[in-house]
Amino acid sequence: MIYGITGNVKKEEIWQPIAEFTHWLRASRMPFVLDKPVAEGLAHRNLVTSDIADFHSRPNLPHESEVILSFGGDGTLLTTAHNVGARETPILGVNMGRLGFLADTEVQQLKDTILQLEKGKYRIESRMVLEARFEGEEGADTQWALNDFVIERSLTPQLISIDVTVDSSQLTTYWADGLIIATPTGSTAYSLSVGGPILVPDCGVMVLTPLAPHTLTVRPIVLPDSVVISIKVPENPFVLASDGRSTSFDDDGRILTIRRAQHSVKLIKLPAQDYYQTLRSKLGWGGK
């Protein structure tokens, strides 16, 4: 198995663990490649020699790896997933952040984790992805999200109106700070923080969660993943964020369509890893 190594190069705390891990892989004769910025960062800090960094450096990690190890937190894993894209190379998240719903292998456990992978003791979870495109703009790039799309007000202190249609049937017009369209994976991210429900990852659904709606009777709604959601912001500029990557748009009344994407994100999980145990641990359920 060829291990690709990437990480959040802005975090100084990743360098020593990655250096120690690469030395262990070399001593264990396990093949690996390094994302080019990671290789350059290791060489710059004299944690590996420049010839080793150059030999293992790869500008296109997903094409030359069988498993990608993402060192950082959930945000780093989201970036890794976007870099992998439709190639669907499996990703193992190595948690060096705080909460870690996605990057759930702790760095201290990494060597034991790799030994389990070498023995075939793992499973691959396919996580649902959403795609978004402005209607009638076939030449435009399709955006996609593993966690969520977020529509928020831009350059104004006022609430914005968001017209939402589900499969050609009007749902409602949200009068709010914004709207989150989340996958089951993203249900424990921004959506959860504003009162959205927790969805088990393999549920075939998505959830719409309004941000500070003007009408208190407006609540999150769970929809099947087979629907097409059409969204229009008719009056104000707005920001569309895809897994935290933001783009600003004017109030030109274009229609945004969101649906389930054809590809998925593959995450590696160990036999002992259990989603409900993760919830109990990360959210502190059952504590006194």
Classified as helix, coil or strand, 68 is strand
Is 74 annotated in the active site? Answer: yes
Beta strand spans in the chain (E): 3-7, 32-35, 57-58, 67-72, 91-95, 105-106, 123-127, 130-134, 143-145, 148-153, 160-166, 169-176, 178-182, 205-211, 221-224, 229-232, 238-242, 245-249, 255-260, 265-269
Residues 46 and 55: their CA atoms lie apart, in Å, by 15
238 contact partners, CB below 8 Å, separation of at least 6: 151, 152, 153, 154, 160, 178, 248, 249, 251
Which one is catalytic: 35, 51, 74, 243? Answer: 74
Which residues are the active-site residues?
74
